[in-house]
Amino acid sequence: MTKPDLAATQPSQFDVLVIGGGAAGLYAALSIPSRWRIGLVTKDTLSVSASDWAQGGIAAAIGADDAVSLHVADTLVAGAGLCDLQAVEHLASQAARCIERLVDLGVAFDRTDGQLAMTLEAAHSRRRVLHAADTTGRAIVSILAEAVLQQPNITVFEQAFALDLWLADGACRGVLVAHRQRLGWLSAQATVLATGGGGQVYAQTTNPAASTGDGVAMAWRAGAQLRDLEFVQFHPTSLAQPGAPPFLISEAVRGEGAHLVDRRGDRFAFDYHPDGELAPRDVVSRAIFHHLQKTGDRQVWLDLRPIPRDRIQYRFPNILQVCRHWGCDPLTELVPVAPAAHYWMGGITTDLHSQTSIPGLYAVGENASTGVHGANRLASNSLLECLVYGAELAHLPLQSEAHLPAALSRPDAIALDGLPPADALWTTLQEQRQRLTQLMWEAAAISRHQSGLEDAIASLGQWRREWQQHPLQALHRLPTGTSYALPETLTWPLVRAWGELSNLHDIAWLILNSATFRTESRGGHFRQDYPHTSPDWQVHTLVEGDRWSKSPTLQP
C-alpha cells in the first residue's frame, strides 16, 4: 500500500477506483483480484465511517435453529413489500461465507463456549446477530483497514474528497478529487461508489459528520438512476442527554431486555404495537414521536436495569462509557433517548453485481439501492449487505490492455473570482448547513405532510439557485484530464465543507421531492395526510435527472 500526494506528476490511471473507506469500500477493494491496480479514495482516514460506528452487529442465519429462508422471510416483512426477492435471497445465502472470511481475517466476534455468540434484534425471528461487544462495526472495519494497508496493489488517498464523476462516451471513467492542495482527475476502468449514507442532511442523526450523501449526489449529477430516496430509517433510541450529541444506543440493548418507558414509567410502546420495544424500527420511532406529541415531553427513557449488570458490562461497554461521560449511568438510572436519522434505504439503483445504470460505475453499501432493504431495513442487515455486494466486485469485467483517458500533467487555470475570505466562507458554510438540516428535520423527518414538504421545496429551490452562483462552483468545471493547484487561502478542509454542503443541497432536494411523490405511508416513509399503505404504491420510486416515476408493481 502506498500513500500518495495528488500532484501534477502523480500517475493517475487505475484499473479500479473505490470511493469510500468504510466496510463496503474496504471489502470491495479486498475482493478485487490483486492483479489489478486499485485507488481507494476516502475523505477521512480508513477507520472513520458509519460502519465503524455500527454497534449492534451483523446478521447471518448460521445457528442450528435458523435457516436462510427464515432470514429472507424476516427481511421481506421488515421491507414492507418493496424488497426485491432475488436480492434478499442472494444476501442471506451468502452470509455464512462472508462471516467465515471475516473470521479468517481475524475479526474477533464474541463467543459462548467456543461458538460464535448470537443475539436477538428487533423483527428477527431467531438469534442471528453476531457481535463484538457493542462495537461490531469498529471491529470489522479495523481488520479490513489493516488488510487493505498491507496490499501493494492498493493506493490509498486519505483525506481526499471526490467532487464529480468523469464521464466519457457514455461511461464512467474516473473521478475528480481534491487532495491536500490539489484538484485533479483520476481515471479507471471501473469506479465503485461506497461513500455511505446521508444522515447529515438532518439536524438530528446518529451518523458521523462524513455521511453527507456524496455518492448519491455525484451519481445523480452524472445521470445515474436512483431509487426509493424517500425511505429514511430513524433510529428510535439515540442519547438525548442535554449537551450530548445524538449517540446511537443499539436496539441490541432492547433485544437483551431493556424497557422503553415514559416519564410515568409506562412501557408505552405496547400501546402502538404488540411487539412493544421490539417492533420494527420505524414503528418504534413513530411510537416515540407520537407519544412525545401527546405528552409534551422532549424525550423518553431506556431502562437497562432489567438486564443483569454483568451482562450489560460484557455486551455494552462502549454504551456504558459514553453515557457515563455525559453524566448518565445506565446501571443505576434511566437513559434519556429520542429518535434520530440513522439509515437511508434508498440510493443508486444497482443489480445483483453492484452495477449501476451507467457503464463502468458501481455502488456498494448504504449509497446503493440493491433492493435488499425495501421500505425499511431489517436490523444488522446493513453490514452484511456491504460484504455480500462488495464481494461481487471480484467479477469486474476488466481488460488487461484497457485504453483509459489520461490525466494531463499541465495545470489548468480556474477563475475563482469573488471568493470571500476564509473566515467568512467558513461562517457562511456552517450557517447554511445548519439552516438546511433544520429544514429537513422539520419537513421530512419521522412524520411528513404535503404542505410542509411543498414549503421546504420552495425554500430549498431558492437556496439552490443562489448556491449555483457561488464562486467555488468553478471547481466543478475543471476540464477533464487536467489538474489544478488550489490557492493557499482555499484549504482542503474548506473545499470539503463546500463540497459536502453542495451534496447535502442535492440529496435534500431528492428526498423532499421523493417524499412528495409517494402519496402513502410505508416503512420509513410516513405521511400524516396519507397515513395508510396503498397497494397502488407497491412500487419503487425511480429518479432520473429531474423526472420521478414508478417502477412496475412488485410481487406481494
DSSP-assigned states of every residue in 393-418: GGG----TT---PPPPSSB-----TT
Domain map of the chain by residue range? 14-56+135-231+345-396+407-550, 233-342
- Tell me 201's DSSP state: G
Give start and end residues of each alpha helix (H) in 238-302. Answer: 252-255, 281-295
Task: Give Cα 402 distance to the centre of its chain.
Answer: 32
In contact, 240 and 246? CB cutoff 8 Å: yes
pLDDT at 47: 59
Q: List active site positions.
A: 281
CATH fold of 233-342: Flavocytochrome C3; Chain A, domain 1 (3.90.700)
Nearest to 418 by CA among 484, 503, 490: 490
The amino acid present at 216, given as its one-letter code, is V
pLDDT at 125: 93
Nearest to 446 by CA among 336, 282, 292: 282
pLDDT at 428: 95
3 state SS of 174: strand
Nearest to 211 by CA among 389, 46, 372, 22: 22
State the Cα–Cα distance between residues 171 and 165, nearest whole angstrom.
10
The amino acid present at 90, given as its one-letter code, is H
DSSP 354-370: -B-SSTTEEE-GGGEE-
Task: Give Cα 58 distance to the centre of its chain.
Answer: 15
User: Which residues of the chain fall below pLDDT 50?
Assistant: 8-9, 11, 48-52
3 state SS of 510: helix
Nine-digit cell string for 342: 440513522
State the Cα–Cα distance between residues 148 and 269, nearest whole angstrom.
44
Q: 158 pairs with which residues across the strands?
A: 42
395 backbone dihedrals φ, ψ, rounded to 5°: -110, 25
In contact, 280 and 122? CB cutoff 8 Å: yes
3 state SS of 179: strand
State the Cα–Cα distance between residues 28 and 45, nearest whole angstrom.
17
pLDDT at 133: 76
Q: Does 3.50.50.60 match the CATH number of domain 14-56+135-231+345-396+407-550?
A: yes
In contact, 350 and 362? CB cutoff 8 Å: yes
Task: Give Cα 407 distance to the centre of its chain.
Answer: 30
State the Cα–Cα distance between residues 135 and 70, nearest whole angstrom.
26
State the Cα–Cα distance between residues 204 and 240, nearest whole angstrom.
10
pLDDT at 556: 65
Nine-digit cell string for 469: 452562483
Q: What counts of helices (H) and strands (E) characterise the chain?
A: 14, 22
Nearest to 463 by CA among 429, 494, 496: 429
Place of cell 424525550: 299
Overall pTM > 0.95? no
